[in-house]
Amino acid sequence: MNRFILRRLLQSALVLLVMSFVIYGLIGLMPGDPLDVMVASVPGVTPEQIARLRAIYGLDQPLMLRYFHWLMAALQGDLGYSRSHSVPVLAVLAPALWTTCKLMLISFVAAVALSFVLGITAALKPGGWLDGAIGLVAFAGISVPVFWLALMMILVFAVELHWLPASGGFTVGDGGFVDQFRHLVMPVTTLALATTGGFTRFVRASMIETLRADHIRTARAKGNPPSRVVLVHALRNAMIPVLTVMALSFGSLFSGALLTETMFAQPGMGKLIYDAILSNDFNLALSGLLFATLITLLANLAADLAYAWLDPRIKL
């Protein structure tokens, strides 16, 4: 087991190294640089001033040289300086990571819980009216764009009903637990609903297949109550493929968080990475994307470990 974890961690490090090179190169291929925005929007800034700023930010150096400098510093724990926030990258990443993790984890737990309830319910009587209704809801969740869902939630619960705040993380002058919770309700619900649809379909499909397996028939024949057959014998086996999907969904959850954070003005990683890419803040964009990659890799590792726990036949 330990060798497996060590091997996977080394593989992850290699993936991160390759990803850092690819991401840096891709951002570098984008035309223009952040100073062009300044030239276009701020009158009177001279070409000399722009040239000076390019030198200060290192934008006048070859891309590969900049990458090499970044990599050497990163290996020593220095992720560099964020040009667009005027502070070290870690100082911006840490609070944003906390916001996103909070949003992602709560949404993930909510989505998993909801999808298991819906997926199992649908699988118990495939083709029935409840299965059809749940399928409809699930497909709606999959197909509705996150930004539209977010906007509709704002319009209904903030603009029309005035039940919940439309944006932000807390109310200035309050900021207590209830206040922060109220600010999280809509973003979490939006992100969870967007994820639940896909999860529900996977849980349903996996459960239907497992419920037809021989060992389930045996369990039923042994007189186990239906709830035990479903929740203990079937669910454990059905979870193996579902876990893979859930682990892989961390990446898409990140992109969903981007939209959710932008719509609800939550200062999280998604919004931070998006802004960093747009403003050509190489250090910040790169570090943010690598963190996102790392989270996905670790989630996959956790899923592999969970397989062994769920099915003793699997050897790591």
- Residues making contact with another protein (CB under 8 A): 30-33, 36-47, 49-53, 55-57, 81, 83-87, 92, 95-96, 147, 150-151, 154-155, 158-159, 161-169, 172, 174, 178, 181-182, 185, 262-267, 271-272, 275, 278-279
Inter-residue contact 236 to 116 (CB < 8 Å) = no
From 246, 262, 276, 296, select the one nearest 187 (Cα to Cα): 262
Which position has the token pair 């035309």? 31
To another protein, the closest distance from the beta carbon of 304 in angstroms equals 34
To another protein, the closest distance from the beta carbon of 216 in angstroms equals 24
In whole angstroms, how far apart are CA 83 and each of 22, 38, 129, 275?
20, 14, 56, 12
Is 60 or 311 the residue whose CB approaches another protein more closely?
60
Is 85 or 102 the residue whose CB approaches another protein more closely?
85
**C-alpha dihedral sign at 123, 127, 132, 136:** positive
Is 151 or 308 the residue whose CB approaches another protein more closely?
151
Is 69 or 215 the residue whose CB approaches another protein more closely?
69
To another protein, the closest distance from the beta carbon of 17 in angstroms equals 27
Measured between its terminal Cα atoms, the distance across the chain in Å is 6
Is 243 or 282 the residue whose CB approaches another protein more closely?
282
Is 30 or 232 the residue whose CB approaches another protein more closely?
30
To another protein, the closest distance from the beta carbon of 37 in angstroms equals 7
To another protein, the closest distance from the beta carbon of 243 in angstroms equals 25
Inter-residue contact 265 to 170 (CB < 8 Å) = no
Residue 130's φ and ψ, nearest 5 degrees, are -70, -40
To another protein, the closest distance from the beta carbon of 262 in angstroms equals 5
Residues whose CB is less than 8 angstroms from the CB of residue 107 and which lie 6 or more positions away in sequence, other chains included? 187, 188, 191, 192, 195, 253, 257
